Structure formats: structure tokens, C-alpha cells
Structure 1
Amino acid sequence: METVADALVSTLREFGARYVFGVSGANIEHIHDSLYRLGQNRLNSVLCKTETGAAFMADGYARQTGSIGVCCATSGGGAVNLAVGVAEARASGVPVLALVGCPPKSLQGRGAFQQAEGGGNQVDGEKMWRSVAKRVSVLKVEDFWPNLRSTLIAMLSGHPGPAVLLIPRDTMEEFVPPCPAGKLHRFCAQIRESVHSTYPVPLMPSAMFRSAWLEAKRPVVIAGAGIANSAQLTEWAEREQVPVATTLEAPSAFPQTNSQFLGMVGVAGHPTCHDYIERSDCILALGTSLDIMARAPIESAAREKPVCIVHTNLQALPDWSRLVAIEECPKRWLAQDFLSTDGDSSRLRDWPEPRPFERSVVRETERTDASGLGNTQAVEAMQSHLHAFDIVMMDAGNCAATAAHHLRFPAGVHSQITLGMGGMGYAVCAGIGAQLARHDQRTLVLCGDGAMLTTGMELHTAIELGLPILWVIFNDSQHGMCTTRQRKLFDGRIHATRYSQVDFVTMVSGLAGDNQIWLARADSQAAVSRRLQEYLQIEPRVPGMLELEISTEEVPPFFPFMSAESPKRERQVVERTLA
């Protein structure tokens, strides 16, 4: 017979999980002991520096594999820290499984250390988790197998999301009944079959939208993260002669080198893309619910057009008069070929090449050095080196907006900006999970100094594992997006967004031994290119960090800030978009 901890680890191993990201503690140590004994080099522990970082890594891993990411934490502060990353997974629809150790049942309600049963002065842990996860349950011996089955099915069915298993310490030592399927591999196969059986029969779009699409002369597809990197979409768009725009969350969801690529839509999108969508006569959105970050620049133009959204998440849709919404996996839906025109040659092929905004420098600030390095110059220097990377993770903020706006990602590169909760520091950690998911490739992480200060100690995790990840830190000693808003919305009163200079090269050098990580600085566009070339020539591959000394402050290519409307109207757009 197996204990709860052993049975859980063995099942996750057979289900295909490869890593459990976490920080140990008294009430989770049975899980780590089971991993040590039963992982079989197929399911391994990754010791993180923070529980938040662990959840972010599990999230990054899950996004790259399309399967579950697993993280764990002990009770009390560890569990609360883990909740930050689980909340991001919930907001972005990522199947992360959080294993949370709890005080033993025998002490619950009797003053256990870190107890969280609610009432009096106690945190109600279960209620907290229910507010951030798709499914939460307390793991018990008597319903171990059906509970675990239901948990995994819930995570992967419909719109994916995180699940939390609360496991009392003494429960981990109790013995579970035999696996009901006889063999673990059979039990796991049944779960996968159940996930697929939950998909509904794909629905045909309304007759009104289908007619509008088939008759359209300038139809447009907007591809979101839910259909990213789909060869099926690429083939269909080429056959149907329809241009495809992507969103900020997944800029390269559609190959940017493809002739059908229209550009990126949204708050950091291309003006040429927005202009074309305004002239379009029908819009099909796949894998995106067109939230405000995607639709802000096209809201007024799209409001009266026929629009169909196909996505697994239909919450908080735009209030448009001709909108049709279908709750479905966009890849499965597209395979039904509901909108095929057999390549109607009457459609106009007049979409433009994506064109970015002109670089806009804030010259009135004492921090601006006209000859120094700015965000746009930095990302332009990266363009010729992007082909060497397979994954590009961008942390939300000015550097991400600039990178997504100006870079053209080569074919096959997976790019991502996480906008679910949009917190600083996600990409610093998630890049580690992503790299472990695709271990034979390279990952590039672009982030600001604020993100690095938030979760930068997780570089130690990558150093220990020897992962070929390059972090590029845009260091301008401020929270740049916040500073820009203060200039725009608060008459230039800059407050609580700037801090003293941090030397990240020195800081990170203390995390590694000799030759364990490559470290460098760059203060000009030419230096950025030289340093990248230097890093890419290192063999064997090692982690790296390039600190960019940003001395030119720019207005980011963020739609509300680049608007040509009146200051009053611009302020209203900014406030609505950022609300």
C-alpha cells in the first residue's frame, strides 16, 4: 500500500509532470521525500527561492508544454506567497496544480502553528484559495482517487485554470486504497479521455455572421494566446487570403514573417494595423476575448462591425451590437472549416506592412541623455540576434511594450507577455519554467529593473540548474510606466516611482561561482549588439544577464500615451484603459 504523499507523486509522474517547483517546510516535506524516493528522474524537485517564483515557474512550464505545471508550498506565509502566482494562472487560464501542506488534522482548531481554518483572528485558507483558483479541495484518504481525478479534469477542461490540493501533514502519511483502474498509466489515460469528452460539439457561427464573413472584402482575423503558434491557422489564413493580427499577450501567435501578418493590435499595437481594422468589414477573433488591452484602439471602429469571438473564456466581453461569441477551443473550431470560401479571389489584398510609432523621447527631464541608450534603440539592437532564441518572455511594463511593438519575431519563436494580473517579476521566474519545458533550446527574458528587484533572486535557481537563459535588464532606476502616467495624468509630479541606482551585475555575481553565469553591461546600441553576440558564442551554454544602462527616457509606444487626440480626451482614454 502507498501513502497519500507517495500515491500523489507517483500519479503525477505517470501523468507526465516533470517538475515540482517549490520551497520546503514542515508541512510539505513528505511530498519532497516522496519525490526523492519515487521521482525516478522523471519527476524532479526544483528548489526555488520564493513560493511566488515557484508558482510563476510552474505557470511558464505549463504554457510551453500545454499540460500541467506543478508547484508546492508549506502552510502559513508560504501558502500566501504561492497564491500570488496561482492568481496569475487563474487570470490567464493556465493549468497549474498547487500542492499546499497544512497543519495536521489532529491539531486543527487547537492552536496549530500556521493554522488557517478561519474564525477569530485566523486567516481562512480555503476561502482565500477559492478566490484565486478554479478548483480547491482538501485531500482525504477516503476520496483520494476520485478527488485527484476530478482535480486534473477540472484543470484541463473548458477554459483551463489552476487547482489547489490542501493536504494536512498527517494525511500525507495515511495509506490510500488501491488505484481503481488497476494501473496508474490506465488511471491517467482515463483522465485524459475524460478531458477530451468534455468538449462540446463545435457550434457553427450565426447565419448573420457567416454571411457577413463570406461576403466580406476586407475581413480580419485577430489571433490571441489561445491559438498561438497554430500551423492550422497559418494554413487556413493563407488559403482564405485573410490578414491576421496578433495581440500584446502573444505577439508572435501568428508568424510575423508570413505575408498574411497584419501587425499587432492593442494598447502597444501598430497604427497601420489599427487603421486597417477600422477599414475592415468583418472581424474574427480566435483565442482572445478582446479585453481592453487588445481592443482599446479599435473599440469605436469595431463596435458596429460584425464580430465573432471564439474562445474558451467568454467572461467580460465587449458590449458590441453585432458581436457573436462561441465558447469553444479555437483550434477545434477552426478545424470545422465553417467559414471556408475556397480562397475567394475577390477579396482585397491591400493590407500594409506593420509600421511602428516614431520614437518619442521625453526631453524635458533632467534624467534624459540625448546621446544615451533608450528602450527603442536597445530592442532594435536585439533584432538581428532573435533567431538564436526559441522563447522570448517579456515582463509587463515599458520595456515589454517597446519590445513587442518594435521587434519582428522570426518564425518559430514563442513570445509572451503575461497580462492576466500583470504583476512585475513574472517573466523573471516563468522563463525558468519555460526553459525546463524546452530544455534543448534558448530563452530570452526582457524585464525592467523593478521586476528584477521583485523576483531577481530566482536567477540563483537557474544558475544551480545551468539553464541557458539570458535576462536582459532595462535599468533606468524607476518604474517607467508609472512615471509616464504621472507625466500624463498628474502634471509631471513624479512621486514614489524612482529609486537609487542598483548595480545588478555586482548583485547577481554574488549568486554564482566562477563561470556559472555570464554577466555584462551595455550603455549604447552598438554595445548591446556586441554583448549579445559575445553571449551567443559561449560554449557550453550558460545562464546570462545583460544589464542595459538606460539613460534616455522615452514615451513608450502605448496607445493612450501616443494618441493625437486632445489632452482631455487622451486622459479619458488613458484612465479607461488602465482602470
Structure 2
Amino acid sequence: MTVAEAIIEFLAEQGISGIFGVHGANSEDLFTAALRRGDITVTVAKHEFGAGAMADGASRIIGRPSCVVTTSGGAAMNIVAALAEAYESRVPLLALIGCAPTTGEGRGAFQDMVTPPVTVDAESTFRSVTGFTAKVGSVDDLGSALHAAFDALRRGLPAAILLPKNVQTASATAITPTEPRPHEITEVPASAIALLRSASNPVIMLGENISRALRPDDAVALASIGAVVVATPNGRDACPLSLTAGITGIMGHPSAHDAIERADLILVIGSRLSMTDRAGLDAALDRIPTVHIDCEPPLRPVTAHVPTTDLTSWITMLPKVFQSRLRPAPLAVRPLAVAQPPDVGLTCTAAIIALAPSIPLNCNIFADAGNTGAAAVHHLPIGSGNRFVVALGMGGMGWAIAAGIGAARTTGRRSVIIAGDGAFFMHGMEIHTALEYSLPVTLIVMNNNAHAMCVTREKKFFPDVASINTFGHTDIGAGLAAMFPRLDVRTATTADDAATAAAELFTSPTSTNCLVIQTDPCEIPPFATLI
């Protein structure tokens, strides 16, 4: 077998069942090796960033590594942003990157990128956004590189392997797969247990990592503890919003922050305590004893850190740690009301509230950054079996569109993608990928003809400067309908129209469909720093 075939066989043995990418000369052997197998699904995206985000979105939903394959040159550079999001959000994403043949390195080979300063320094670039990066210069390097890459993936970090064309086509033997490491539950320090058991008014703060680890009935275990539960923006689906005191951090809900201010203990599970998760809470975290449970230490000092790679088991252990204090948790959730300027039209919040009742159960919901993400985090109810993801590691526009498509391709479950027109103009053409594979995807575009959160910031912080973030109107719905006759597209201008269209689309027999909702760029989103 060739090196390319040996790599794909190794991926399959390690549980990777699909790859995403854009075909090219220096990656074609990898794609061909995958296509020749019956157990690897190949998805060709429209842009390499989109392919990387598809693999990222799939990994967040299925809870195991996914793979993106690209060729060299600009294609390889296009996945840097996708790997950066995966790195910041701790998502195990493997990138296999084809390179020019070793015989042409440093000699003017087309798209050579591994011989600095003659060329760009691709290895250093990828090392900055992964937990492991290596170039396989010969067949002898292959096994160690793959084993090291999967070690990084098991730690929740992306990895990249650069593969010269002539190495991919060389003969190789099968690579011995590695045994997965068992989960580790570090023994809880006695001091941390004493803190947990002595608390009379604890608050449990759930982050993104616990959201990925939770099982359907685990929220019941949380509710049995008798503590107030709050969630970070990306821990949004870890517990039904009805059982929490709201969202923390930059999208903070005042009730969540009130609950933390009144607490005598904060138990943080699955959050690195980035500023996205903790904005406005540093004074409370300095004052109140805080126990942090996650695989990595937090990004700010806490009273006690308990490292673990098995957050799922921790949830079932908590009632015992707290000595099963079965008492109702005091919840006093105040509505998050945002005063809007006079004469503001349809807001993203009102549109989401209108369409929310139609969103089906057992689907994956992806919200993009910006006004749409803020509105969805606070106002979108998460039903039984639903997952919710908003990527705030890098906060890049358009990520949710590709990520939702990747999740639908991998799981077969419907992806509901909520994005703004700014996100659509960046990566909206990945809807073509969804159509090509007849994927169950509903794309909801909030079209305010602006980078609306930037508009709000302009008005709040730079009122003497004319806006550069409002645009001429674009009829996105008509454009998509003209480009893709098979795509069922609706356009709504009122909340009632949005509710009706959503109800029709979610019961439609068409797999891929789209709803464009005209919203107002002057709305003030439910975003803590802008309220």
C-alpha cells in the first residue's frame, strides 16, 4: 500500500469515518485512498475554511476527532483560521496537508511552503494554531507523526501533518493503531471537598466542555444537588434554560451575575474561564471560593483546580460530593429586556422568538457570532435532544454555516443554522455543499444589510463618526432561489411571516432549505457591553 492508503486506513481504525476538504494536486492521493474505501465519507466543500469548520462542527457534535484534508499553497493557508477556532475552543481536529514534493523544496516548486526564508514557514504557522504539527519527510517519519498527532487530539487539541506529494505515493506498511488512553478522574483534594460540602448557597457554572460531555439525563443529577445553575454562552445546552439563572460572560444575563454575587461557593465545570465566559465576574471570583473542574487549568486564579478527562463521570459524582443535599435551588430569573431606540423594526431577538416554536427536537443548532448569536444564546429554547453551539473561540463570521453543514453530513440529524448577512457573504456558498449532498440543513439568515453589531458599537463608542458598516439592500432570498432552483427559500419581513415560514420549512419534505428574515441594523443586541 501507499503512504496515503496507510494513513487513511489508520484514520479508519482510530474511529474517523469521514474527511472534509477541497481537492488538489498535492492532496489527491489522500482523497483517492479515502474514496476507494467503503467506510470513509468524503465531503468536498467550496472553501478550505469551510471544510475545516465542517470538520470542527462535526467533532463538537459527535464527541470524537474529525479530519480536514487540503492541498498546498493558498489552500493550506485557508484552514489556519479554522484550526485557530478549534485550538481556542479545544476541539480535536486533524488536518492533513499536501505539500510540494521534497525534490522541489527550496528550488522553486509550485506552492512550496516548507523552506523558509525562501518560502513561507507553514510548519511554524500551523504550530501556532495546533497542539502538534509535523512534516513527514520520509516514510520512516510517518508512524511517529500520526501517533503524536492523535495524542494531541486526545488532549482536545487540533493537530496538523504536512505530507509531501512524493511521500504520499511511496510504499508503506500498515501503521499500528494506538490504544486509547482511559479517562482519568483525579482524586479530589480534601480541601476542595470541604469547600463543596460547607457551601450553603453554591452556584454551578457549566461551560462548553461539559456541554459536549453531558448525557440526556444528566441535567436531572444537576438539579438534585440543590444549587443554582448558570451557563456560559457555549455551555448553553448543558442544562435547560428553565433550570438555570441565565448566561454568564460577555453575553451576560443579570440574573446569572446576581446569583453568583450572592453565592458562597462557585463550582466551575468545563469552562476555561476565558473572558468570554467570565466578563463582569472577576471581582466575584476573587472574593468567593471557587472550585474549577476541567482537563486544563483555568485562565485566571481560582481557589482549587481539579484536573479530569472525564467530566461525564463528574456530573454523576456531584450529588455524593455535595452529600445529596436534595433541596430546591432558588431561581429568580429576571427577563433580559433590552431598551431599543425609537422606531426600530424587527430585531433578531423578536425573529428568533417567533421561529423558535417550530424548531424540531433532536436537531443541532448552530448560531454565528454577532447579533444573531447573542439573541439565540438568550432567547432560543433548547428542546429535548437538541445541541446548541456558538463558536466564540475566535468569533469568526460564517463559521456556523459550514459547521452546521459538517454536523448534518456526519450525523444525519437536521442542522438549524442561524447567521447574519455578514456571515452569509463570507461563507454562505457552502449551502451549495449541503445541496450537493442533500443534507438536512435549514439556513436562517438575519439580513439587516449591515455588520450590525459594529453599527451598534459605532453609535455607542464613536457617535461623531459616520457609519461604515451599513450596506445597500441585497435580496438574498431571491439571489439564492435564482442560483439554486432546488433550494426551498422563503423571505420574511415580519415576526408573523417568520413564524409561518419556519413552520412550513421545518415540516417540508425538502432536505435543504433557507429562510431569510429582514431585520433592523439599528437594534441593540442582548450583549452585556452594549446594553
Question: Which amino acid is the alignment partner of residue 323 of structure 2?
Answer: D
Contact 1:356 1:405 in 2 (8 A): no
Percent sequence identity is 30
Residue 393 of structure 2 corresponds to residue 420 of structure 1:
yes
SS in 2 for 1:554: coil
SS in 2 for 1:143: helix
Alignment counterpart, residue 523 of structure 2, candidates 547, 550, 554: 554
Q: Could you tell me which residue of structure 2 aligns to residue 535 of structure 1? A: 505
Q: CA deviation at 1:236?
A: 2.8
Q: Could you tell me which residue of structure 2 aligns to residue 448 of structure 1? A: 420
Question: Deviation above 6 Å: which 4+ runs of structure 1?
Answer: none
Residue 275 of structure 2 corresponds to residue 292 of structure 1:
yes
Q: Could you tell me which residue of structure 1 aligns to residue 167 of structure 2? A: 171
Q: CA deviation at 1:153?
A: 2.3
Q: Could you tell me which residue of structure 2 aligns to residue 213 of structure 1? A: 196
Q: Could you tell me which residue of structure 2 aligns to residue 156 of structure 1? A: 154
Q: CA deviation at 1:497?
A: 1.6
SS in 2 for 1:477: coil
Residue correspondence of structure 1 range 111-126 to structure 2 within 5 A: 111-126=108-123
Question: Which amino acid is the alignment partner of residue 186 of structure 2?
Answer: P
SS in 2 for 1:361: coil
Measured in 1, the distance between the counterparts of 2:466 and 2:263 equals 41
Alignment counterpart, residue 338 of structure 2, candidates 352, 355, 359: 359
Q: 1:534 to 1:553 in 2, by over 3 A?
A: same
Q: Could you tell me which residue of structure 1 aligns to residue 449 of structure 2? A: 477
SS in 2 for 1:240: coil
Q: Could you tell me which residue of structure 1 aligns to residue 434 of structure 2? A: 462
Contact 1:202 1:336 in 2 (8 A): no
SS in 1 for 2:287: coil
Q: 1:17 to 1:119 in 2, by over 3 A?
A: closer
Residue 79 of structure 2 corresponds to residue 106 of structure 1:
no
Contact 1:427 1:447 in 2 (8 A): yes
Residue correspondence of structure 1 range 250-399 to structure 2 within 5 A: 250-257=235-242, 260-314=243-297, 317-319=299-301, 323-329=303-309, 330-337=311-318, 340-344=321-325, 349-352=329-332, 354-363=333-342, 369-370=343-344, 372-388=345-361, 390-399=363-372
Contact 2:205 2:266 in 1 (8 A): yes
Measured in 2, the distance between the counterparts of 1:331 and 1:492 equals 51
Q: CA deviation at 1:437?
A: 2.6
Q: 1:561 to 1:444 in 2, by over 3 A?
A: same
Q: Could you tell me which residue of structure 1 aligns to residue 228 of structure 2? A: 243
Q: Could you tell me which residue of structure 2 aligns to residue 31 of structure 1? A: 30
Measured in 1, the distance between the counterparts of 2:480 and 2:29 equals 32
Measured in 1, the distance between the counterparts of 2:44 and 2:107 equals 31
Question: Which amino acid is the alignment partner of residue 8 of structure 1?
Answer: I
Q: Could you tell me which residue of structure 2 aligns to residue 203 of structure 1? A: 187
Q: Could you tell me which residue of structure 2 aligns to residue 145 of structure 1? A: 143
SS in 2 for 1:267: helix
Q: 1:443 to 1:268 in 2, by over 3 A?
A: same
Q: CA deviation at 1:300?
A: 2.2
Q: CA deviation at 1:355?
A: 3.1
Residue 58 of structure 2 corresponds to residue 61 of structure 1:
yes
Contact 2:456 2:522 in 1 (8 A): no
Measured in 2, the distance between the counterparts of 1:121 and 1:222 equals 49
Alignment counterpart, residue 179 of structure 2, candidates 167, 191, 194: 191
Q: CA deviation at 1:553?
A: 2.5
SS in 1 for 2:429: helix
Q: CA deviation at 1:558?
A: 1.0
Measured in 2, the distance between the counterparts of 1:210 and 1:522 equals 54
SS in 2 for 1:142: helix
Q: CA deviation at 1:530?
A: 0.4
Q: CA deviation at 1:359?
A: 3.2
Q: 1:133 to 1:510 in 2, by over 3 A?
A: farther
Q: 1:408 to 1:481 in 2, by over 3 A?
A: same
Measured in 2, the distance between the counterparts of 1:305 and 1:235 equals 26
Cα RMSD after superposing both structures: 2.0
Contact 2:362 2:384 in 1 (8 A): no
Q: Could you tell me which residue of structure 2 aligns to residue 72 of structure 1? A: 69
Stretch deviating more after TM superposition (141-150 or 91-100): 141-150
Question: Which amino acid is the alignment partner of residue 284 of structure 1?
Answer: L
SS in 2 for 1:249: helix
SS in 2 for 1:21: strand
Q: 1:495 to 1:206 in 2, by over 3 A?
A: farther
What is the TM-score when the length of structure 2 is the normalising length? 0.94
Q: 1:348 to 1:250 in 2, by over 3 A?
A: closer
Structure 2 unmatched ranges of 5 or more:
none
Contact 1:473 1:547 in 2 (8 A): yes
Contact 1:206 1:324 in 2 (8 A): no
Measured in 1, the distance between the counterparts of 2:233 and 2:196 equals 25
User: Cα deviations across residues 351-385 of structure 1 (Å, max 9, x unaligned)?
Assistant: 22x3332132233xxxxx54x32212101102211
SS in 2 for 1:165: strand
Stretch deviating more after TM superposition (502-511 or 240-249): 502-511
Q: CA deviation at 1:138?
A: 1.7
Alignment counterpart, residue 409 of structure 1, candidates 357, 377, 382: 382
Structure 1 unmatched ranges of 5 or more:
181-186, 364-368, 563-579
Measured in 1, the distance between the counterparts of 2:525 and 2:189 equals 38
Q: CA deviation at 1:141?
A: 0.8
Q: Could you tell me which residue of structure 1 aligns to residue 473 of structure 2? A: 501
Question: Which amino acid is the alignment partner of residue 71 of structure 2?
Answer: T
What count of residue pairs does the alignment treat as equivalent? 527
SS in 2 for 1:350: coil
Alignment counterpart, residue 133 of structure 2, candidates 132, 136, 146: 136
Question: Which amino acid is the alignment partner of residue 103 of structure 2?
Answer: S
Measured in 2, the distance between the counterparts of 1:495 and 1:84 equals 27
Question: Which amino acid is the alignment partner of residue 445 of structure 1?
Answer: I
Q: 1:381 to 1:94 in 2, by over 3 A?
A: same
Q: CA deviation at 1:337?
A: 4.6
Question: Which amino acid is the alignment partner of residue 471 of structure 2?
Answer: Y
